């Protein structure tokens, strides 16, 4: 089983709260309604706004359905995780929020917990999966490619981390999990600290 990042857990919890568990259940309007967000289309660039305690996501009406969905996810991050009017913020902070919104967008449009059901997630040649992911998750092929590259890199990093952990445990056998001798010493130390009223 894959270890999720905080962002992946956050996305999974949103979808589970709404009751969406598979790609074919994903619906932008249902998500907006469930999160009490007003969804409208207009002739300006997509953006999220707050007005008198109500949150709105305004999507550019000239975009196609896949681009609107991707913009929706980007703007949803601003609603759920950011506060304040961006134009009044220092440029470095605006850029930080935009990077976070981009990362959220990729994870929200193509959630990791849903990708785990695809064999393609384990392929090293991700090109095989691009059209499948683009179709099933209603994203562009370029978007699907970037998302699968990100997932592949995460899987490879996890494997590398695990190999490194095993190597370090062989190199330093007293590192966790501790042997019986080390556990005995730690128990004695904890007993001494407890007598002195110090929390270990």
- What single string gives the DSSP state of each residue in 26-64? --HHHHHHHTTEEEEEESS--EEEEETTEEEEEEETTS-
- CATH number for the domain harbouring residue 90: 1.10.10
In tens digits, what is the pLDDT along the chain, a chain of 200 residues? 578 899 999 999 999 999 999 999 999 999 999 999 999 999 999 999 888 889 999 999 999 999 999 999 999 998 987 554 455 555 665 676 778 889 999 999 999 999 988 876 555 678 889 999 999 999 999 999 999 999 888 888 888 888 888 888 777 766 566 677 777 888 888 888 888 776 65
Per-residue pLDDT, 135? 96
Contacts 24+ apart (CB under 8 A), 87-93: none
Q: In this structure, is residue 15 part of a structural domain?
A: yes
Domain for residue 110, yes or no? Answer: yes
Going by C-alpha positions, the residue among 108, 81, 102 that lies closest to residue 20 is 108
**The predicted structure's pLDDT at residue 196:** 74
Q: Is residue 99 part of a domain?
A: yes
Whether 12 is in a domain gets the answer: yes
91 exposure class (CB count in 10 Å sphere: 0-12, 13-18, 19+): exposed
| 73 within a domain of the structure (yes/no) | yes
- Asked if the structure places residue 135 within a domain, the reply is no
- Report the candidate in 179, 175, 178 with the shortest Cα–Cα distance to residue 167: 175
DSSP lists the bridge partners of residue 49 as: 56
74 is a domain residue: yes
DSSP run (H or E) holding 163: helix 141-171
Q: Which residue has the tokens 């001798």?
A: 181
Token pair 């949803």 is found at 76
**What is the rounded CA–CA span in Å between residue 200 and residue 192?**
10
Residue 46 within a domain: yes
Q: What is the pLDDT of residue 98?
A: 78
Residue 84's pLDDT is: 47
Give me the domain span that covers residue 52.
6-125
Count how many domains the chain has.
1
The two beta strands, 37-42 and 47-51, are: unpaired
């Amino acid at each position: 089983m894959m270890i999720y990042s905080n962002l992946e857990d956050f996305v999974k919890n949103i979808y589970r709260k709404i009751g969406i568990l598979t790609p074919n259940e994903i619906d932008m309007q249902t998500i907006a309604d469930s999160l009490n967000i007003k969804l409208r289309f207009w002739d300006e660039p997509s953006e999220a706004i707050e007005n008198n305690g109500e949150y709105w996501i305004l999507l550019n009406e000239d975009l196609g359905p896949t681009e609107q969905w991707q913009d929706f996810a980007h703007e949803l991050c601003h609603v759920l995780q950011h506060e304040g009017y961006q134009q009044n913020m220092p440029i470095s902070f605006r850029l930080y929020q935009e990077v976070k919104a981009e990362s959220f967008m990729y994870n929200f449009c193509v959630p990791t917990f849903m990708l785990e059901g695809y064999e393609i997630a384990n392929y090293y040649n991700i090109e095989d999966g691009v059209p499948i992911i683009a179709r099933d998750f209603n994203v562009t092929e370029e978007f699907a490619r970037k998302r699968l590259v990100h997932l592949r890199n995460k899987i490879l990093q996890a494997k590398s981390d695990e190999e490194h952990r095993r190597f370090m445990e062989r190199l330093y056998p007293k590192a966790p999990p501790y042997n019986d001798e080390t556990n005995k010493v730690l128990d004695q130390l904890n007993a001494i600290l407890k007598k002195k009223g110090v929390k270990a």
